[in-house]
A = this chain, B = another copy of it.
Amino acid sequence: MDTYRIIITKRDTRAFLDRPVPVETRRRILQAGRMAGSSKNSQPCRFVVLEDPRVREEFAACGDFAAWLPQAPFVVAIAVVGGTRGEFDAGRAAQNMMITAWAEKVASCPVSLHRQECAVEVLRLPPDARVPIAIGFGYRAKPAKHAPEAARLGWDEYVRINRWQP
């Protein structure tokens, strides 16, 4: 499958098989995040791999919809420690990771941490850090639906030429 097909068929999925993500795949996922560009190469992102079950539980309690996270075979929290476009650059790094994973048939889903102080404390980050996202990775529990497209607004709602309004 070529890169474009991999990109457009990626679905955010959070129900995973109880099957580990291979070590080499994990390494490529993290390296893809590290290689993502950032504003003036400020490299604001840091990655914390959550392996310890207790840390996973403490961390998941920092988000309103993160209860599924401790069961994911591979969990990465993305911290931002500076930069002027931190959340945007975190999105770039996250997408690099998730597309790299999906190219190896590893699904993923990002999740927000609504209580930022909690997330920073659990991960023992510098106090001015933030954690815009964590990502759970694994092999999907249910077979992929073969819908030709994800459910999205129409092309004309997404794309305009020159100005949004005439």
Are B88 and A50 in touch, CB under 8 angstroms? no
Q: Restricting to A15-66, which residues have a CB under 8 Å from any CB of B?
A: 28, 30-37, 39, 41, 43, 45-52, 55
Copies in the complex: 2
- The answer for the CA separation of A94 and B34 in the assembled complex, in Å, is 17
Q: Which 3 A-B pairs have the closest CB atoms?
A: A91-B91, A87-B87, A3-B103
Q: Is A95 an interface residue (CB 8 A)?
A: yes
Are A35 and B52 in touch, CB under 8 angstroms? no
Minimum CB–CB distance from A1 to chain B (whole Å) comes to: 8
Out of B32, B84, B159, which one reaches A47, CB within 8 Å? Answer: B159
Out of B2, B39, B55, B89, which one reaches A103, CB within 8 Å? Answer: B2
- Range class of the A interface residue count: 35 or more
- On whether A161 and B51 interact (CB within 8 A), knowing A95-B91, A95-B96, A150-B35, the answer reads yes
Are B132 and A85 in touch, CB under 8 angstroms? yes
Minimum CB–CB distance from A81 to chain B (whole Å) comes to: 9
Are B43 and A153 in touch, CB under 8 angstroms? yes
Task: Point out the residues of chain B lying under 8 angstroms from A3, CB to CB.
Answer: 3, 6, 99-100, 103
